Amino acid sequence: MKTVKIIGGLGNQMFQYSFYCWLNRVYGNVKIDISEFGNYYQHNGLELENVFNTGIHAVIAEERDLAQIKDLKPLFKVRRKLGQLLFRNPNLFIKNTHFCAPLYCGYYPSLIEDDADRYYDGYWQNEKYFELIDIRSIFRWSNLSSKTIACAKKMSNENSVSLHIRRLDSARNFRHLLYLTRLRIVWRVASKEYYVRAIQEMKKRVENPVFYIFTDNILWVDQNIHFTENMIVVDWNRGNESNQDMYLMSRCRHNIISMSSFSWWGAWLNASSDKIVISPRKWASRFVKCMDIIPSTWIKI
């Protein structure tokens, strides 16, 4: 049996589910493991089934299906941290992380030739994993607010540019502080200089751009992004409605993204034939290797 683990924020869940669709198209009878969401305190939990009107069309792995994966149940949390070291059968486990098995950090078509039972734990952040799947027909939003719908309509009549600024600065509690600290060690945070250069580059290429700002730190934007003309801050999507920011990014004509799978999907789902997407060249710290997440048509600075 093949099983794909689903975990993380909405952007990473979408990568994992897309990878599942790819595997299921080839093999069939692939399952997803959502068991860790019972103890997951970051982001908004499992969002796939609530955000998109297609929901999740997958068989969910049950406890008995995961027995050989979670064979040391009392030590499962330790197993999560140490990866395959605690597995009785390490060949069963394919880990797509940035500290273990870096072979699987990029795109490897050899995975499709492997018909053995496998448990896939990772993010699979490469569009080639789902290039044969009509992903846009799967990721269609439901329950959009009237304000979001009105904003999307306005965007369609402008040279709209989404600008996603992710800072990872504020912590809600100690658990969240530890989470942000870990993210900062592994992942880069886009600098002020990156956003200034990206805005300048977009202005060279787009006539009369209107910038729509999406951020987790409005104060940082006010202090560092010093222009007010043609700038609109999207600040009404919070909590369980925060996914609608991704929808609005996808409705802009052009995109400036941060090191974030959330804004990556906003740009990728943008169906404009002439879209310009600007991305940071480096997404991660020196600890992370083999990253291959940026499509070749996007501009890297």
Number of domains in the chain: 2
Look at residue 254 in the predicted model and tell me its pLDDT.
98
Say whether both 151 and 268 belong to one domain. yes
Say whether both 154 and 117 belong to one domain. no
Among 102, 135, 168, where does a domain finish? Answer: 135
Look at residue 74 in the predicted model and tell me its pLDDT.
44
Say whether both 127 and 158 belong to one domain. no
Look at residue 177 in the predicted model and tell me its pLDDT.
46
Say whether both 164 and 131 belong to one domain. no
Look at residue 285 in the predicted model and tell me its pLDDT.
56
Among 135, 160, 179, where does a domain finish? Answer: 135
Among 87, 113, 135, where does a domain finish? Answer: 135
Say whether both 77 and 130 belong to one domain. yes
Which residues constitute the domain of residue 277? Answer: 144-300
Look at residue 100 in the predicted model and tell me its pLDDT.
36
Say whether both 111 and 166 belong to one domain. no
Look at residue 37 in the predicted model and tell me its pLDDT.
87
Say whether both 126 and 46 belong to one domain. yes
Look at residue 247 in the predicted model and tell me its pLDDT.
98
Say whether both 148 and 287 belong to one domain. yes
Look at residue 190 in the predicted model and tell me its pLDDT.
77
CA distance 2 to 20: 9
Residues near 111 by Cβ (< 8 Å), separated by ≥ 6?
Answer: 94, 104
Say whether both 102 and 210 belong to one domain. no
Tokens for 119, please give them. Answer: 């448990």
Give the CATH number, domain containing residue 289.
3.40.50
CA distance 268 to 295: 9
Say whether both 152 and 279 belong to one domain. yes
Look at residue 270 in the predicted model and tell me its pLDDT.
98
Cβ proximity of 164 and 266 under 8 Å? yes
- What's the pTM? 0.85
Look at residue 95 in the predicted model and tell me its pLDDT.
56
Say whether both 149 and 286 belong to one domain. yes
Say whether both 53 and 78 belong to one domain. yes
Instruction: List average pLDDT for each run of 10 residues in the chain, which is 301 residues long.
Output: 90 94 92 87 83 85 79 46 43 47 58 82 88 91 95 97 78 48 58 92 96 90 81 91 97 95 96 96 61 88 92
